[in-house]
Amino acid sequence: MKSLSYFFLLMVLTTISCFKPLEPDRIITVDTQVTYQTMDNFGAAGCWFGEGIGKYWPHEKKERIAELLFSKAVDSLGNPKGIGLSSWRFNIGAGTQEQGDSSGISDFRKRVECFLNSDGTYDWSKQEGYQWFLKQVKHYEVEQLIAFSNSPPVQFTENGLGYKLNKDFKTNLRTEHFKDYVQFLTQVLSHFEENGIHFDYISPCNEPQWDWFAEFGTAKQEGTPWSNANISEIAKLLDSTLTASQLETDILITEAAQLNFLYEGNGHAHQQIANLFHPDSSLYVGDLKHMPNIIAAHSYFTDNSDDQIISVREKVGEATKQANLKFWESEYSMLANGYKDGHKGKRTAMDCALFLAKIIHFDITKANASAWQFWNAFEPGDSDFDTKYYFIALDPNEAYTDGEFSPVKNLWSMGHYSRFVRPGMVRVEVNTGMTDLESAQSLMSSAYLDEESGRLVVIVINYSEKDQLIKLDVNGSNYYRFTQFTTSAEEDMNLYKEEENKLLDEGFNIHGKSIVTLVLDSKFE
């Protein structure tokens, strides 16, 4: 009888032990009392292929593309229909499309029309395809709209082209046309304003550090160098014309071609924080009416290793903090080979998406970026491998009047941020128990709080091959359930709602090589 009781007790204990919660592989702590930057937007540009799509492609196709980029809606299962971009970059063209082959730009799709005609009149029917996307931006209530120019109109340039024929690093804008250029930009903004489309920002000098040189017939796109002195002059002139036109549009500078150009170097457009935003500088623009305390740069070519990714962005964060500036990352795609992480051969679409998430993560957590914008929303390319340039892979016909398209994993990678981290949310403290360098190949996490509603968004990137059970420890007791959205290499796992209203104490599983967003609502709502 005694042995039977002992056997029964053993069975009970064994059964209880089977239901004992598994020990988490890692605990991520979130402290909502420690706050950092307020997030402004997440966006992308519509060059160059937005013109053909918007002008010629069948409505069903281009409307689905717009939905993928801008929609905040969900399907019947609660999965996002799109990534809900909160900003869009619109290119104001220089007129190379009208020049045709005489432009010297080899790819006709990268030539851009200009609203200003050679006789000084304006034709607002130009850039029809690009303008179609502006209408979609308004329809989807995208929060912020940015206009940018790669080159002044060709009638204002030294060589009558949209790029340089020599490597002197001098601007292609003729001295006598500086005022004409800013008047042109202001006229474009005024036209759209009168037609119900408001541009929040105008960027007049894109990637000023490059020489933008090409031999005639081999040019890739419009572009011109600018010196810091040029940028200062343009900003001051533009500030005056915006004020005179009573436009509430801010000037976005410097659109530096690399992050480190903001704080170091001795070139014509280097050390831009010190040259343009230090009150003692003769080029100071920080006191202009239409100049926000924002400086923008691109994350290209600073991604060759995890150490470089982290160290460069730490320096950006330090430099902008000292100057009391917000930092915007306003353009990035995987131009170099850093995204390969030392691997040879092709990288899968998910590998590219994970690398993209890594760059976004460190731009936000180390450089304190309050906005993050990608180049490019769509381009022709493969949808399965080396998807480093685009969110949506295009397979167009030769004339580019129709084609097929495929959203790639980069789209959904970006969506973890753009869809859930809305303008006005504040980044809060996260601790994974690892150094930044360790986390770059393992587990990266950031968190964002909507202070008005109490909603907390936690994004976790599992860069490793290993599935992990994660326990989320949020300070205080305001949160006890979460909904989980996952993107992984599986075909249908694209911001997929994997869990809903799950108890926080139970933790969550994150698959190897995947990205997870947790949405937590305050229990006091």
Cα separation, 425 vs 431, whole angstroms: 19
* Mean predicted lDDT score pLDDT of the chain: 95
Q: What is the pLDDT of residues 116-169, one digit of tens each?
A: 999 999 999 999 999 999 999 999 999 999 999 999 999 999 999 999 999 999
10 pLDDT more than 50: no
Tokens of 5: 């009781």
In three-state secondary structure terms, 524 is coil
pLDDT, residue 21, reads: 59
Question: Are the beta carbons of 394 and 381 closer than 8 angstroms?
Answer: yes
Q: Span 303-331, mean pLDDT? A: 98
Lowest mean pLDDT: which of 15-19, 172-176, 410-414?
A: 15-19
Q: Return the closest-CA partner of residue 53 out of 491, 414, 391.
A: 391
Q: CA–CA distance from 267 to each of 82, 112, 223, 344 (Å)? A: 42, 29, 18, 34
Which of these, 210, 214, 211, 193, lies nearest to 202 by C-alpha position? Answer: 193
Of the pLDDT bands very low, low, confident and very high (cuts 50, 70, 90), residue 523 is low
pTM: 0.95
258: alpha, beta or left, given left = phi > 0 and alpha = psi -120 to 50?
A: beta
Q: What is the pLDDT of residue 18?
A: 46
Task: State pLDDT tens for residues 94-116.
Answer: 999 999 999 999 999 999 999 99
Buried b (16+ CB within 10 A) or exposed e, 493-511: bbbbbbbeebebeebbbbb
**Which pLDDT does position 23 carry in this prediction?**
86
- Asked if pLDDT for residue 4 goes beyond 50, the answer is no
Rounded mean pLDDT, 438-447: 98
Give the C-alpha separation, 192 to 201, whole Å: 13
Query: With bands split at pLDDT 50, 70 and 90, how would you rate the model's confidence at 478?
Result: confident
Residue range 385-416, pLDDT digits in tens: 999 999 999 999 999 999 999 999 999 999 99
Give the pLDDT band (50/70/90) at residue 522: confident
